[in-house]
Amino acid sequence: MIMLKSFERTPNLAELKVSYRRGRGRDSNQLTMPFVVTNPVTAEQYLRSVWDKDTLELREEFVLVCVNTAHEVLGWVKLATGGIDAAAVDPRLVFGVSLQVAAAAIVIAHNHPSGSVTPSIEDREFTYRLKAGADLLDIRLLDHLILGRDKSFSFSQAGLLTP
């Protein structure tokens, strides 16, 4: 698993500092790298391997997974942690990280602590805004997954990412 390191922000600089390394040691539940995201099932498998299972039903979190042109995972980063029913995500952070690691495509995901994986109106609107931004930057939005404890919802599988 390759976690994109923390952002360092100073009053003098408005830059994101992101780094990744391919040769990191294995964590106990880490998937073999390079991990290839080929469909919603493999995207969910990867996300569940990096997600903190102790917070899945506690608070909403938003994760970005960056992949290269071969859909190999470059790394992931948690961009937002919220409360019981929301996590505010700034699209500029999504694309700032994506551009900095030269991602060809991205997978975004968040969890619903309630267990219901049905996308809210806000989830849909946010996804469409990110899709439009990704299209402008020539970055493919492969999927937006909503995770629950035992199930998930895939925007791509539901046909909600096609024009």
| CATH number of the domain bearing residue 146 | 3.40.140.10
Structural domain containing residue 146: 40-154
Question: Is a pLDDT exceeding 80 seen at residue 29?
Answer: no
- Is the Cβ–Cβ distance between 1 and 49 less than 8 Å? yes
Spatial CA neighbour of 155 closest among 113, 114, 115, 126: 126
For residue 99, the SS3 value is helix
pLDDT score of 34: 81
Question: Is a pLDDT exceeding 60 seen at residue 18?
Answer: no
List the end-to-end C-alpha distance of the chain, in Å, as a whole number: 32
Tell me the whole-structure pTM to 2 decimals. Answer: 0.81
User: Mean pLDDT in the chain?
Assistant: 86
132 in a structural domain: yes
Quick one: which H or E segment has residue 44? helix 40-50
Instruction: Give me the number of domains the chain comprises.
Output: 1
Other CB atoms closer than 10 Å to residue 107's CB: what's the count? 28
Q: Output 77 or 33, whichever has higher pLDDT.
A: 77
10 in a structural domain: no
Question: Is a pLDDT exceeding 60 seen at residue 47?
Answer: yes
* Average pLDDT for 2-13: 51
100 in a structural domain: yes
20 in a structural domain: no
Bridge pairing between strands 73-81 and 61-67: antiparallel
pLDDT score of 6: 53
